[in-house]
Chain A
Amino acid sequence: ETGVTQTPRHLVMGMTNKKSLKCEQHLGHNAMYWYKQSAKKPLELMFVYSLEERVENNSVPSRFSPECPNSSHLFLHLHTLQPEDSALYLCASSSTQGTEAFFGQGTRLTVV
């Protein structure tokens, strides 16, 4: 098993759909993150969960809703997205002490 696993790897959704991205880590970490990578823009931090509590929300629109039910799982619930939300969404995990972060393979999302 890889350290951080994301599903699905690819997702195409309409603007009225609701879908969820899933992330699972097997590294014993207790902090998890969602990042967004759009074309021609640097990777942007979206959400941070530390010990299952959300500690950061970087002005992300409410159509993105994160959930962290336990230290091993992280979800990103999507609803009424816009075409400009099409991007690569990456999940990461680390210890809360700020050491090395590890990333999943990413979910490539296309909103049509």
Chain B
Amino acid sequence: GIQVEQSPPDLILQEGANSTLRCNFSDSVNNLQWFHQNPWGQLINLFYIPSGTKQNGRLSATTVATERYSLLYISSSQTTDSGVYFCAVANTGTASKLTFGTGTRLQVTL
């Protein structure tokens, strides 16, 4: 099956700093999503981005499907950004059978 690698595994930032999280995948995909898992375990949708670039406030994401990677940018980080960020992909024709990466654990300190 498809392999998904995320880097870095852990990241500590001071409030106000910027960061880039990376997701590499091993095959062509028709679905790529970025999630933020909050401390209570819920997965919050950040982006649905199988290709191209999107922005939502301080967050933006870019997927270069031909080179099999996606980047999540967090600018002016806040303590509420802390948590685990997951990239998940699917390459099947129907239904969103997502394969998840192991995540990047982000801690934003004051």
Contact = CB atoms under 8 A, between A and B. Distances in A.
Contacts of B31: 98-101
B41 A101 contact: no
B45 A102 contact: yes
A87 to B, nearest CB: 10
B97 A48 contact: yes
A69 interface: no
A interface residue count range (under 10 / 10 to 19 / 20 to 34 / 35 or more): 20 to 34
B33 interface: yes
A45 B98 contact: yes
Interface in B44-92: 45, 48, 86, 88, 90, 92
Contact of B97 (A33, A90, A105): A33
Contacts of B41: 37, 88, 90, 105-106, 108
A94 B95 contact: yes
B98 to A, nearest CB: 6
Interface of B: 4, 30-31, 33, 35, 40-43, 45, 48, 86, 88, 90, 92-103
Given A98-B94, A98-B96, A106-B41, 8 more contacts: A37-B41, A42-B4, A42-B102, A45-B97, A45-B98, A98-B90, A101-B96, A105-B40
Interface of A: 31, 33, 35, 37, 42-43, 45, 48, 50, 55-56, 88, 90, 92, 94, 96-106, 108
